[in-house]
């Protein structure tokens, strides 16, 4: 799994969801590794106690290529569209047959559009109803492209 942050199940629903995914893979007999660019925190789950190996990785670094080549994954889960965008092409180059899974635990573009609609700032052009969401944003296009 390539994670934007280390899972913090006591801090967020996303952290709980990520931990559920990890546990599901473990339950199915997979060997699980989690790699993240984030710094470790006191709130993160103890993944190593679950038998999960953890790896700190860098953005825009060939060190990830070496890491992924040593790992030789069959399945790679990206916890957010940003991690998919940043790392999936590197995985695809090294392991073109590896299954890529994007966990859409949160659709950021939808959350953003809802927040702006509530504030009355981003209503679709030519619509007076403040409940019409503007879903034609760059964020929406980027996230949908990852999906």
If one counts the domains in the chain, the total is: 2
pLDDT at 122: 54
pTM: 0.78
Whether residues 40 and 90 share a domain: the answer is yes
Question: Token digits for 139?
Answer: 């964020």
User: What is the CB neighbour count within 10 angstroms for residue 120?
Assistant: 8
Q: Domain holding 59: CATH number?
A: 3.40.50
Q: Does 66 share its domain with 26?
A: yes
Q: Are both 97 and 78 inside the same structural domain?
A: yes
Per-residue pLDDT 10s for the chain (147 aa) are 999 999 999 988 889 999 999 999 999 999 999 999 999 999 999 999 999 999 999 999 999 999 999 999 999 999 988 899 999 999 999 999 999 999 987 777 777 878 887 777 655 555 555 556 778 888 888 888 777
Domain shared by 11 and 38, yes or no:
yes
Q: Render 90-133 in DSSP notation, one character per residue.
A: HHHHH-TTSEEEE--S--HHHHHHHHHHHHTS-BPTT---TTSB
Residues 130 and 72 in one domain: no
Residue 130's pLDDT is: 53
At what angle are helices 108-119 and 138-146 packed, to 10 degrees? 160
User: Could you list the residue range(s) of the whole structural domain that residue 129 is in?
Assistant: 108-146
| Residue pair 87/64 in contact by the 8 Å Cβ criterion | yes
């Amino acid at each position: 799994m390539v994670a934007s942050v280390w899972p913090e199940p006591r801090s967020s629903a996303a952290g709980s969801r990520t931990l559920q995914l990890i546990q599901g893979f473990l339950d199915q007999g997979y060997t699980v590794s989690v790699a993240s660019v984030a710094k470790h925190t006191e709130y993160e789950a103890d993944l190593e106690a679950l038998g999960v190996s953890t790896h700190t990785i860098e953005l825009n670094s060939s060190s990830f290529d070496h890491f992924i080549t040593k790992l030789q994954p069959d399945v790679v889960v990206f916890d957010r569209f940003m991690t998919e965008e940043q790392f999936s092409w590197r995985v695809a180059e090294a392991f073109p047959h590896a299954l890529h899974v994007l966990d859409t635990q949160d659709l950021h573009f939808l959350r953003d559009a809802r927040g702006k609609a509530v504030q009355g700032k981003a209503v679709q052009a030519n619509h007076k109803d403040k409940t019409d969401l503007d879903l034609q944003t760059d964020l929406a296009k980027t996230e949908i492209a990852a999906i």
